[in-house]
């Protein structure tokens, strides 16, 4: 298991049995292992802080207070082979350090008088030390991979303008375009209407208790799912239908898992309502739906820029309120 090039260290803290343990270790250490000696628990702690060893061979004569070893109780610390003439169950009474840190225990006299037995236990603890080292390396690699994945996701959020497998903007870029269009409308006094659409499978919900759409305007978070989730193929088709039925200068983008946002420059609320009816025909008509796709229903909430909705947050909040109202209208499913 260990090659000559592996430099592994066993920390010997033998207390009153230091010298005989040194002699026994000299005859049983596997290739590549070296002994580092500590004369006190203070020195043990120093070694573990500055250069942790792979295994600690500890004699209980080094301490009379079990709490002295609390610093060894942290998870994934160096495996400990404890030598003591007192049973581990007695030592562990009331001491978290003994309970959680000691990997193996041997009676001191038995270990000194039977070196092959100590050698076998040593090999078992050495295997444990080797596995723990590999576990730490794997956890470090996993942590690095997670950091890299998180960074890549963050870069995608910053850089990718289009939703995967679709032809419209991501929610972030759609909201950036909304900021641009709102600024243009404020500067030139031109109308601007925002449409929030929510697509779901099956029949529209009952009017008695409309589902709540989670607020996503200011935090750029997705609205709540309405009805059954829309899978990726259906979402891609939905994006194609929306883009096919909108005007060239209108802006379409993702808004939540099953929803979308439409920015309609130079358009008043009645004109946006006509646009939504065309979109609904394109999305709900059986003749437009690919074979094997389930029927879908779509609701629309419409809000126009005005003195009462002068900001992005107020405009989106108004559109979300109208979308909630549309969900309560099973026939029209449109509010403006």
* 123 and 201 part of one domain: no
Q: What pLDDT, on the 0 to 100 scale, is given for residue 286?
A: 80
Q: Would 158 be classed as within a structural domain?
A: no
Q: Distance (Å, rounded) from C-alpha 11 to C-alpha 125?
A: 13
Q: Would 147 be classed as within a structural domain?
A: no
CA distances (Å), origin 84, targets 125, 215, 246: 16, 64, 82
Q: What pLDDT, on the 0 to 100 scale, is given for residue 195?
A: 94
Q: In what order do the strands lie in the sheet with 33-37?
A: 33-37, 8-13, 55-59, 80-83, 102-106
| pLDDT tens sequence across 271-299 | 999 989 888 888 888 877 777 788 888 89
Q: Tell whether the torsion through CA atoms of 182, 186, 188 and 189 is positive or negative.
A: positive
Q: What pLDDT, on the 0 to 100 scale, is given for residue 91?
A: 54
Q: Which of the residue ranges 8-17, 172-181, 214-223 would you say has the lowest mean pLDDT? A: 214-223
Q: Distance (Å, rounded) from C-alpha 83 to C-alpha 25?
A: 13
Residue 176 has pLDDT above 70, yes or no: yes
**Domain range spanning residue 204?**
171-335
Q: What average pLDDT score do residues 47-56 get? A: 82
Q: Would 155 be classed as within a structural domain?
A: no
Q: What average pLDDT score do residues 50-55 get? A: 82
Asked if residue 296 lies in contact with residue 238, where contact means CB atoms within 8 angstroms, the answer is yes
Read off the DSSP letter of residue 77: -
Q: Would 289 be classed as within a structural domain?
A: yes
* 129 and 230 part of one domain: no
Query: 103 or 55: which carries more pLDDT confidence?
Result: 55
Residues facing residue 252 across a β-bridge: 262
* 251 and 293 part of one domain: yes
Q: Retrieve residue 38's tokens.
A: 């500590």
* 176 and 288 part of one domain: yes
Q: Distance (Å, rounded) from C-alpha 34 to C-alpha 31?
A: 9
Q: Would 1 be classed as within a structural domain?
A: no
Q: Would 161 be classed as within a structural domain?
A: no
Q: What pLDDT, on the 0 to 100 scale, is given for residue 212?
A: 41
Residue 174 has pLDDT above 60, yes or no: yes
* 20 and 123 part of one domain: yes
Instruction: Using pLDDT thresholds of 50, 70 and 90, give the confidence band for residue 166.
Output: low
Query: 129 or 215: which carries more pLDDT confidence?
Result: 129
* 136 and 260 part of one domain: no
Q: Distance (Å, rounded) from C-alpha 239 to C-alpha 169?
A: 10
Average pLDDT, the chain: 77
Q: Hey, what's the torsion of the CAs at 326, 329, 331, 336, to 10 degrees?
A: -40
| pLDDT tens sequence across 190-234 | 899 999 998 877 654 443 344 444 344 433 333 333 444 556 777
* 277 and 131 part of one domain: no
Q: What pLDDT, on the 0 to 100 scale, is given for residue 104?
A: 79
Q: What pLDDT, on the 0 to 100 scale, is given for residue 217?
A: 40
Query: DSSP string spanning 199-262?
Result: EEESSPPPSSSPPPPPP-TTT-PPPPP-SBPP-HHHHHHHHHHHHHHS-TT-EEEE-SSSEEEE
Q: Tell whether the torsion through CA atoms of 166, 171, 172 and 176 is positive or negative.
A: positive
Total of domains in the chain: 2
Residue 291 sits in a domain of what CATH number? 3.30.70.270
Asked if residue 78 lies in contact with residue 51, where contact means CB atoms within 8 angstroms, the answer is no
Query: DSSP string spanning 79-102?
Result: -EEEE-SS-HHHHTTT-HHHHHHE
* 132 and 95 part of one domain: yes
Q: What average pLDDT score do residues 236-241 get? A: 82
Q: Which of the residue ranges 19-23, 70-74, 149-153, 195-199 would you say has the lowest mean pLDDT? A: 70-74
Q: Would 70 be classed as within a structural domain?
A: yes
Q: Which of the residue ranges 124-128, 152-156, 268-272 would you say has the lowest mean pLDDT? A: 152-156
Task: Give this prediction's pTM.
Answer: 0.47
Q: Count Cβ atoms within 10 A of the Cβ of residue 53 and give its class: 0-12 exposed, 13-18 middle, 19 or more buried.
A: buried
Q: What pLDDT, on the 0 to 100 scale, is given for residue 196?
A: 94
| Count of other CB atoms within 10 angstroms of residue 70 | 15
Q: Count Cβ atoms within 10 A of the Cβ of residue 54 and give its class: 0-12 exposed, 13-18 middle, 19 or more buried.
A: buried
* 194 and 271 part of one domain: yes
Q: Would 150 be classed as within a structural domain?
A: no
* 131 and 179 part of one domain: no
CA distances (Å), origin 88, targets 41, 85, 107, 204, 209: 19, 9, 9, 68, 64
* 137 and 176 part of one domain: no
Residue 108 has pLDDT above 70, yes or no: yes
Q: Distance (Å, rounded) from C-alpha 30 to C-alpha 40?
A: 25
Q: Distance (Å, rounded) from C-alpha 40 to C-alpha 248?
A: 80
Query: 19 or 162: which carries more pLDDT confidence?
Result: 19
Q: What average pLDDT score do residues 319-333 get? A: 86
Residue 59 sits in a domain of what CATH number? 3.40.50.2300
Choose the final residue of a domain: 103, 121, 142: 142
Q: What pLDDT, on the 0 to 100 scale, is given for residue 320?
A: 92
* 107 and 204 part of one domain: no
Residue 5 has pLDDT above 50, yes or no: no
Residue 96 has pLDDT above 70, yes or no: no
Q: What pLDDT, on the 0 to 100 scale, is given for residue 208?
A: 36
SS3 328: coil
Q: What pLDDT, on the 0 to 100 scale, is given for residue 133?
A: 77
């Amino acid at each position: 298991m260990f090659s000559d090039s592996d430099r592994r260290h066993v920390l010997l803290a033998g207390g009153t049995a230091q010298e005989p343990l040194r002699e026994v270790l000299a005859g049983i250490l596997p290739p590549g292992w070296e002994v580092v000696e500590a004369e006190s628990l203070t020195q043990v702690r120093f070694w573990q802080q500055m250069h942790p060893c792979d295994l600690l061979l500890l004699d209980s004569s080094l301490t009379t207070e079990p709490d002295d070893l609390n610093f060894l109780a942290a998870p994934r610390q160096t495996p400990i082979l404890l030598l003591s003439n007192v049973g581990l169950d007695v030592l562990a009474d009331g001491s978290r350090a003994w309970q959680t840190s000691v990997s193996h225990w041997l009676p001191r006299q038995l270990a000194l008088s039977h070196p092959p037995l100590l050698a076998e236990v040593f090999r078992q603890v050495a295997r444990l030390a080797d596995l723990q080292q590999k576990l730490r390396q794997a956890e470090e690699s996993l942590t690095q991979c997670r950091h890299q994945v998180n960074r890549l996701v963050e870069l995608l959020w910053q850089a990718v303008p289009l939703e995967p497998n679709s032809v419209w903007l991501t929610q972030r870029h759609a909201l950036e375009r909304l900021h641009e269009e709102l600024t243009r409308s404020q500067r030139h006094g031109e109308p601007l209407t925002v449409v929030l659409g929510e697509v779901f499978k099956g029949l529209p919900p009952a009017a008695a208790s409309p589902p709540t759409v989670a607020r996503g305007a200011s935090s750029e978070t997705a609205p709540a799912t309405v009805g059954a989730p829309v899978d990726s193929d259906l979402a891609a088709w939905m994006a194609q239908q929306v883009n096919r039925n909108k005007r060239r200068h209108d802006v379409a983008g993702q808004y939540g898992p099953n929803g979308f946002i439409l920015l309609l420059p130079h358009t008043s609320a009645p004109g946006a309502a006509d646009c939504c009816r065309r979109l609904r025909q394109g999305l709900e008509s059986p003749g437009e739906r690919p074979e094997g796709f389930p029927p879908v229903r779509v609701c629309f909430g419409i809000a126009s820029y005005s003195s009462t909705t002068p900001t992005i947050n107020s405009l989106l909040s108004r559109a979300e309120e109208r979308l909630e109202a549309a969900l309560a209208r099973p026939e029209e499913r449109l509010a403006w």
